[in-house]
């Protein structure tokens, strides 16, 4: 991986906000559906039962469903609120853990695509895409070795062409290929 100080400053870089909001809404709707189903089941299962309660110091007998309904609604609203807050926090945290390394990968791959084969992808050990970064580093190392081999072969061909009685246009063509290789790749 990258040696020395990190060229990257920690940034606030988010996954698309629309994706985050959509994920949070879908998760909360799923929780809401669960709340509705569980509440409906509780009301259905307690529909035929009676419960005795004290109201204003008087003993009253009411259907269990009507007695537990207010507590059930409050409990479900509180649970839904807490789950929504937890979902927002977890989604933001996870998206940052993924987006930061992907941002660094994107920047390094752009530099590599521009021909800088000296680049190594630097990620923290706990980042989610370190295996991908290692694989990309291996690919860049192999590409760098192949470009170096081509450069060595071209240097030998140039040297041989200059020693032999090779036409000047061939020597110039080999020199142009060498220059193109040097201009396109930093190894």
Domain boundaries, given as residue ranges, for the chain = 7-114, 115-187
Q: Give residue 112's pLDDT.
A: 93
Looking at the chain, the whole-number percentage of residues with pLDDT higher than 90 is 36
Q: How far apart are CA 121 and CA 134, in angstroms?
A: 8
Q: How far apart are CA 116 and CA 128, in angstroms?
A: 25
Nearest-10 crossing angle of helices 168-184, 130-163: 160
Report how far apart, in Å, the C-alpha atoms of 29 and of each of 34, 79, 154 are. 9, 13, 64
Q: Give residue 15's pLDDT.
A: 63
Query: Residue 9: pLDDT band by 50, 70, 90 thresholds?
Result: low
Residue 36 has pLDDT above 50, yes or no: yes
Residue 3 has pLDDT above 60, yes or no: no
User: What is the CA angle 30-32-34, rounded to 5?
Assistant: 70
Residue 123 has pLDDT above 50, yes or no: yes
Q: How far apart are CA 141 and CA 147, in angstroms?
A: 10
Query: Residue 76: is it exposed, middle or buried by C-beta count within 10 angstroms (0-12/13-18/19+)?
Result: middle
Residue 149 has pLDDT above 90, yes or no: yes
Residue 144 has pLDDT above 50, yes or no: yes
In eight-state DSSP terms, residue 106 is H
Query: Residue 137: pLDDT band by 50, 70, 90 thresholds?
Result: very high
Q: Give residue 2's pLDDT.
A: 47
Average pLDDT, the chain: 85
């Amino acid at each position: 991986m990258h040696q020395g100080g990190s060229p990257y400053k920690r940034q606030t870089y988010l996954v698309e906000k629309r994706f985050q909001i959509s994920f949070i809404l879908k998760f909360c709707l799923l929780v809401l559906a669960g709340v509705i189903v569980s509440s409906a089941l509780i009301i259905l299962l307690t529909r035929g039962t009676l419960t005795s309660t004290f109201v204003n110091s008087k003993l009253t007998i009411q259907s269990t469903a009507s007695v537990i309904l207010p507590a059930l609604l409050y409990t479900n609203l509180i649970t839904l609120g807490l789950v929504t807050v937890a979902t927002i926090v977890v989604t933001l945290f996870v998206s940052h853990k993924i987006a930061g390394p992907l941002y660094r990968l994107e920047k390094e791959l752009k530099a590599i695509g521009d021909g800088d084969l000296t680049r190594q992808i630097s990620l923290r050990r706990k980042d989610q895409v370190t295996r991908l970064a290692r694989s990309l580093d291996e690919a860049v190392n192999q590409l760098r070795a192949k470009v170096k081999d081509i450069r060595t072969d071209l240097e030998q061909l140039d040297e041989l062409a200059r020693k032999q009685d090779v036409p000047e246009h061939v020597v110039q063509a080999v020199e142009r290929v060498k220059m193109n290789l040097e201009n396109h790749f930093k190894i």
